[in-house]
Amino acid sequence: MDARTGEAIYQQNANTRLHPASLTKMMTLYMTFSAIERGEVRLDSKFTISRKAANEPPSKLGLRAGQEIELRYLIRAAAVKSANDVATALGENLAGSEEEFTRQMTQMARALGMNNTQFRNAHGLTSKGHYSTAQDMSLLGRHLFYDFPQYYNLFSRRSADASIARVAATNRRFLDDYDGADGIKTGYTRAAGFNLTASAQRGNKRLIATVFGGTSTAQRNQTVAKLLDDNFPRIPDRVRETPPQAPQVRTVSRRAQVTASAAATRPEPHRMVLQASRAPTARPAGLAGAPEGDAPSRADRLALDSSPRPDSRADLGTSAPNATSATDIRAKGHPSALALGASSRPGVNPRAQSPILASANDRDG
C-alpha cells in the first residue's frame, strides 16, 4: 500500500484473518490518542488500576491493583514495552470496561476501513473471535502515522520512563539493525507466531511492511528487511500525497477530565459514536492462487509513504528518537519464500479455534 495514495505495492494473503497478538495495541493506542485529542483525558490524568489489569500475564509493567498512575506513563509502557496490564488499564479507564472498549475498538476499525478485524481484548493475547489481517494492520499503521504525528515518535523509542520502571522497546533489534527504521509495533503469542508492522524511511521514500506468523524474531525481522530492501527501489521519489481521512467521532456521555489531584473522583466512562463512517476501502486482488478469507496461510503486506514527517512530539517527557544503525538486516532464507514476502509459519484461522489460555510465553519478541 502506498501510504500517500492507499494503493497496494505488494501483498501476499493480505486479507487472511490471523491472530494479531500485540499489534492489537496499535488500536488501543489509537483510541487513547483520539480520547486525548477530543479533550476527554489529558496526559497527566490519573488512571486507577483494577485487579483484572494487574493480573494480566506478561509482557507487563507490574502495575498493582488500586494504584493510580498518570496516563503519559501508561502510553509509554504500551507503545514501547507492549505491556498487557497497561493495555487493559487503558481500556477500562477510557470506556468503563474492557468489553465496552473492545466494542469501540472494532467500531473504530470499521471507520478506518479495517473490514477484516475484530477485537475481543485490548492487549492481543489469544482469544476466540479476536483477529485481524496484514492489510488491516498496515492500514492502521498508516493512520497512526498521519492522524497522530505528535505521538508517532513513541514507536521509535529504544526505552522509556514508565514511572515505576524504565522499560526497553520490544522492537529495538529491528530499530537498531535496519537503516532508516523508525517504528512501529511487534507482536507475539504461540498461536500467532512473531508479527511485526515496521516503518522505514530513506530520503523522501517511506515503506510500511507488516508480516504475520514469523518463526522467530530474527526470521521475522529478516523477512521484513527483505521486503523493504526489494521495494524501496520500486517506488517513485515523488507522488501526489493523499492522507487518509480521519474518522469523525463524538461522545454521547462525555468523559470528565481526570485531574492530577489525588482527591479527583473517578469519571464516568464515555460512549463513542462515529458520525461519518468511511465506505469500505477497495482491496487489491491478492497474488494468483493465494488463498483469501479464512483459509490458513501466511500473510504479508506492504504499504509505503514518501512524505517526510515533521519531528513533532507530544509532551510525554521523552527525548528525541535515537539514530538508527547504518547496518542493514539481510535475509538469508530461501529465495522463493522471500520473493513471496511470506513467513514460513502456517496461518491460523482464529474463528476455528477455541480460546487459548495466555501464559508467560505469550509476549512480544
Fold adopted by 11-255+271-283+292-351: Beta-lactamase (3.40.710)
pLDDT (tens, 9 = 90+) of the chain, 365 residues, equals: 777 777 778 999 999 999 999 999 999 999 999 999 999 999 999 999 999 999 999 999 999 999 999 999 999 999 999 999 999 999 999 999 999 999 999 999 999 999 999 999 999 999 999 999 999 999 999 999 999 999 999 999 999 999 999 999 999 999 999 999 999 999 999 999 999 999 999 888 888 999 999 999 999 999 999 999 999 989 898 998 889 988 887 654 334 333 333 333 344 455 555 543 333 333 332 222 222 222 223 333 333 322 333 333 455 654 333 332 222 222 333 222 222 233 333 344 433 332 222 333 456 65
Q: Report the pLDDT value the prediction gives residue 3, as an integer from 0 to 100.
A: 73
Q: What ranges do the domains of the chain cover? A: 11-255+271-283+292-351
Q: Is 185 annotated as a binding residue?
A: yes
Backbone torsion region of residue 222, taken as left when φ is above 0, otherwise alpha when ψ lies between -120 and 50, otherwise beta: alpha
| Catalytic positions | 22, 25, 82
Distance CA 341, CA 178 (A): 17
Distances (CA, A) of 293 to 8, 60, 132, 249, 288: 18, 33, 11, 30, 14
Q: Report the pLDDT value the prediction gives residue 297, as an integer from 0 to 100.
A: 30
